[in-house]
Amino acid sequence: MDGKEKRNSNPDSKLSPFNKIRLRSLSQFLKALGPGVITGAADDDPSGIATYSQAGAKFGLGMLWMTLFLLPTMIVIQEMCARIGLLSGNGLAALIKKKYSTKIVYPISTLLIIANTINIGADLGAMSASIKIIFPEVPFVVTTLLFSAFIIIAEIFIPYDKYVKVLKYLVLSLFAYVITALIVGGNISEIFFTIIPSINFSSEYAIMFVAVIGTTISPYLLFWQTSEEAEEDVSKHRIKEIGEGKPKVSPREIMLMKEDIGIGMFFSQFIMWSIIITSAGSLYFAGVTEIQTADQAAGALEPLVKSFPNSGQIAKLIFAFGIIGTGLLAIPVLSASSAFALSDTFGWKEGLEKKFSQAKSFYSVIVASTLIGVWITFSHVNPIQALILASVINAVVTIPILFIVMRLANDKKILEDKINTRFSNIIGWLTFAIMTISVIVMFLSFII
C-alpha cells in the first residue's frame, strides 16, 4: 500500500482541517468530563428518584421551582469542593483535620458515614424491590446479596480509569424520565409559571422541601467531589499521593474543572425537572398522591409506552433499569466517600486507582459500609419511604459540613488567590441559611 492509499485509509484524512480541529476539541472535551459529571449523575440516585417522584405525586408541579433554585446552588457548592481538592491535593476530612482538629473531624466523619450507610441500605433495597416487580419469584435476599457483591468486586478489581467510563455510561438510564416528561408535560404556560415559588407551611411540605434539598445537596457528594479532584491530581502526576505535596494546576485545568461541574450539575437538575413533571403528569393528576411501592413509582413511566401491549410491565422494566443503573452508580460513590473520609482522618493510603494490597484499610471501609447497608436492607423498612428518610437525614448532616466547606473555600493558606468570589459566598451562605431554617421549621412542624 503506497503513502496515498495509507492516508486515504484513515477516516480522519477525508475531513477538512476545520472539522479535524472540531473533532479533536470534542474528543478532548469528552475526556475532560469526569468527577463533576459522575457527581451530577450520582445525585440522581434511587433516593433522588424516589424523593422527586414523591414531590411530583404529592404536590404536582408545586415544587418544580426548586430545580431553578438548586441549580446555581449545586454548581457553586460542588465547584468549591472541586477547587479545594484540585488545588490542595487533599480530601475534605484531611483538610478539616489540618485546619481545625480531630475533635471536629471525628464527629463530621461519623455523621457522614452514618448518613452514607443508611443511604446505601435504602438504595440496595430499592434496587432489589425494582427487580422484584419484574421477577416476583426471585427472593429479595438473593438480589440484594448479588448487587452488593457485584459493587464490592467492581470497586476493588476494576481499574479506576475503566470504572469511571462505566459510571459515565450508566447515566443514560435516566433519560427515560426526560422522554416521559415530554409526553406528559402538559401546559407549557403552567410549567413556566412554576418558576414562582409556591410554599406552604404544612408538615408534609416541610418534610418534602428538606428531603428534596437533602437528596440534591448530599454530604457524600461534597466529600466525593473533593477527594476525586485530588485523585485526578495523582492520576495526572501533579502529586505522588493524595495529601502529599501541592499540585501545580494551570488556569486551563481550573476552567475545565468548572465546565465539568457545570455540565454535571445541569444534567442532574434537568433529570430532577423531568422526574417531577413525569410524576406530576402521570400520578398527581390521576389522583395518586402518595407513593408507597416501587410499582406505583414505576407507574409514572407508563405514558411512555401506553400505546404498546403490556405497557404496565414495560414501564416497570424501564423504571427498574433506571433504579438499578443509578444505584450501581451511586452506591460506589457513597461507600468510597466514606472510605476517603476515614482514610483522611486516620492517614491511611487511599484511592480507587490503588490495588487492594496497597490500600487495605481504604477498601475495607468500602466493603464494611456496603455490607452494613445490606443489613439495613433486611430491616423490612418500606424501600420508597426509606429513600425519602435517607434524603431528610442527608439534609440534616449537610448543614455542619457545608459550614466548614465555606470556611475552607475562603482560606488563603489553602487556596491562595483562588478563594471564593463574592457571588460564591453569597450563594453558599444563603444556601446554608436556607437549609438550617428549613430543617428547624421541619422539626417545629412536628411539635406545634
pLDDT digits 0-9 by tens, 96-138: 988 887 888 889 898 899 999 999 998 998 899 888 888 888 8
Residue 149: strand, helix, or coil? helix
Query: What are the b/e assignments for 269-283, b being 16+ CB within 10 Å?
Result: bbbbbbbbbbbbbbb
User: Which pLDDT does position 164 carry in this prediction?
Assistant: 63
More confident residue, 66 or 194: 66
Identify which of 39-48, 154-163, 389-398 has the greatest average pLDDT. Answer: 389-398
Q: What CATH number is given for 35-447 in this structure?
A: 1.20.1740.10
CA distance 3 to 53: 60
CA atoms 433, 439, 445, 448: torsion sign: negative
More confident residue, 267 or 422: 422
Is the per-residue pLDDT at 202 higher than 60? yes
User: What are the pLDDT digits (tens) for 294-328?
Assistant: 888 888 888 878 777 777 788 888 888 888 888 88
CA distance 180 to 282: 9
Count, in order, helices (H) and strands (E) of the chain. 20, 0
User: What are the pLDDT digits (tens) for 319-328?
Assistant: 888 888 888 8
Percent of the chain topping pLDDT 70: 87
Is the per-residue pLDDT at 28 higher than 60? no
Is the per-residue pLDDT at 199 higher than 90? no
Describe the chain by its helix, strand, coil percentages, rounded to 5.
80, 0, 20
Apex 443 CA angle, 437 and 445, nearest 5:
100
- Residue whose C-alpha cell is 428518610: 389
Note the residue count of the chain.
448
CA distance 163 to 166: 5
Helix axes 65-88, 219-235, angle to 10 degrees: 40
Query: What are the b/e assignments for 31-44, b being 16+ CB within 10 Å?
Result: ebbbbbbbbbbbbb
Helix axes 140-157, 102-134, angle to 10 degrees: 130
User: What are the pLDDT digits (tens) for 235-286?
Assistant: 888 888 888 888 888 899 899 889 889 988 998 899 999 899 888 888 888 8
Q: Rounded to the nearest 10 degrees, how much is the dihedral formed by the CA atoms of 247, 252, 254, 259?
A: -150
| Mean pLDDT, residues 284-290 taken together | 84
Is the per-residue pLDDT at 18 higher than 50? no
More confident residue, 330 or 28: 330
* pLDDT, averaged across the chain: 84
User: Which pLDDT does position 9 carry in this prediction?
Assistant: 43
Residue 333 grid cell? 460513590
User: What are the pLDDT digits (tens) for 139-194?
Assistant: 989 999 999 999 999 888 887 667 666 666 666 767 878 888 877 765 666 666 66
User: Which pLDDT does position 315 carry in this prediction?
Assistant: 84
Residue 268: strand, helix, or coil? helix
Alpha helices, H only, 299-382: 311-346, 360-377
* 4: confidence class by pLDDT, cuts 50, 70, 90: very low
Residue 57 grid cell? 405525586
Residue 197: strand, helix, or coil? coil
Among 211, 222, 326, 203, smallest CA distance to 276 is for: 211
CA distance 79 to 229: 10
Among 327, 399, 323, smallest CA distance to 112 is for: 399
User: H or E stretch including 348?
Assistant: none
Apex 67 CA angle, 71 and 39, nearest 5:
50
User: H or E stretch including 203?
Assistant: helix 203-216
